[in-house]
């Protein structure tokens, strides 16, 4: 699959729409994420907080759940949308979650409501990572 800028922008837009659904009454920090699977499908998610704070779920985790439920196997690209003074990058735990289904060259774009704020690869965000292939020897 060719990851054109147009496709990446569609992914960002899907993350913006998902962000509108964020359930974040405690932090009031709404996040949306969207993932492209190996069949060219988009799967989105928002953060879902909880009165028992540690039980809150990041937008990326919600999106991964949707991808897996739809039968997706690989993540080919990811977008994360949040409004802050600096790019809203996936937290450490979500970098590892993305790693389960994505390669080092997986593009991870961050954006706010108007523009792309940063472009990374998963390998940049999570270097020398541990993944499923470590368990295959
Ligand atoms: N959050 C995400 O959903 N994804 C990120 O990439 C960063 C943080 C959420 C978790 C929590 O609900 C809120 O943002 C504030 O940390």
In order of their start, the domains of the chain are 5-127 (3.40.140.10)
Please give all residues whose beta carbon lies within 6 A of any atom in ligand 1, as ranges.
24, 27, 29, 31, 47, 49, 56, 58-60, 80, 88, 90-91, 94
Q: Is the dihedral of CA 37, 43, 47, 52 positive or negative?
A: negative
Tokens of 60: 């990326």
15 pLDDT exceeds 80? yes
**Is residue 60 annotated as part of the catalytic site, yes or no?**
yes
- Give the relative orientation of helices 59-69 and 5-19 as an angle to the nearest 10 degrees: 110
Through-space distance between the first and last CA atoms of the chain, rounded to whole angstroms: 29
Report the DSSP beta bridge partners of residue 43: 35
109 pLDDT exceeds 90? yes
Where do runs of H (alpha helix) occur along the chain? Answer: 5-19, 59-69, 92-101, 122-125
- For ligand 1, the distance from its centroid to the CA atom of residue 59, given in whole angstroms, is 7
Q: What is the mean pLDDT of the chain?
A: 98
The answer to whether residues 106 and 119 touch, using CB atoms and an 8 Å cutoff, is: no
How confident is the model at residue 26, as a pLDDT? 98
How confident is the model at residue 137, as a pLDDT? 77
Tokens of 63: 């999106």
pLDDT band for 69, please (50, 70, 90 cuts).
very high
Q: How far is CA 8 from CA 41, 92, 104, 135, in A?
A: 12, 22, 17, 32
pTM greater than 0.75: yes
8 pLDDT exceeds 90? yes
By most ligand atoms within 8 Å of CB, the mutation choice from 24, 46, 91, 122 for ligand 1 is: 91
Rounded mean pLDDT of 59-77?
A: 98
Order the strands of the 32-37 sheet from edge to edge.
42-46, 32-37, 75-81, 107-111, 116-121
């Amino acid at each position: 699959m060719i990851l054109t800028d147009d496709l990446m922008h569609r992914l960002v837009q899907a993350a913006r729409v998902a962000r509108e659904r964020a359930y974040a009454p405690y932090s009031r920090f709404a996040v949306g994420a969207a993932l492209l699977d190996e069949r060219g499908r988009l799967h989105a998610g928002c953060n879902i907080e909880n009165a028992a704070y540690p039980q809150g779920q990041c937008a990326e985790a919600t999106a991964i759940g949707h991808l897996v439920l739809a039968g997706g196997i690989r993540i080919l690209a990811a977008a994360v949308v949040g409004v802050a003074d600096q790019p809203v990058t996936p937290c450490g735990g979500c970098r590892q979650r993305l790693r389960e289904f994505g390669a080092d060259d997986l593009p991870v774009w961050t954006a706010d409501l108007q523009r792309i704020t940063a472009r990374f690869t998963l390998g940049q965000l999570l270097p020398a990572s541990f993944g499923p292939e470590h368990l295959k020897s």
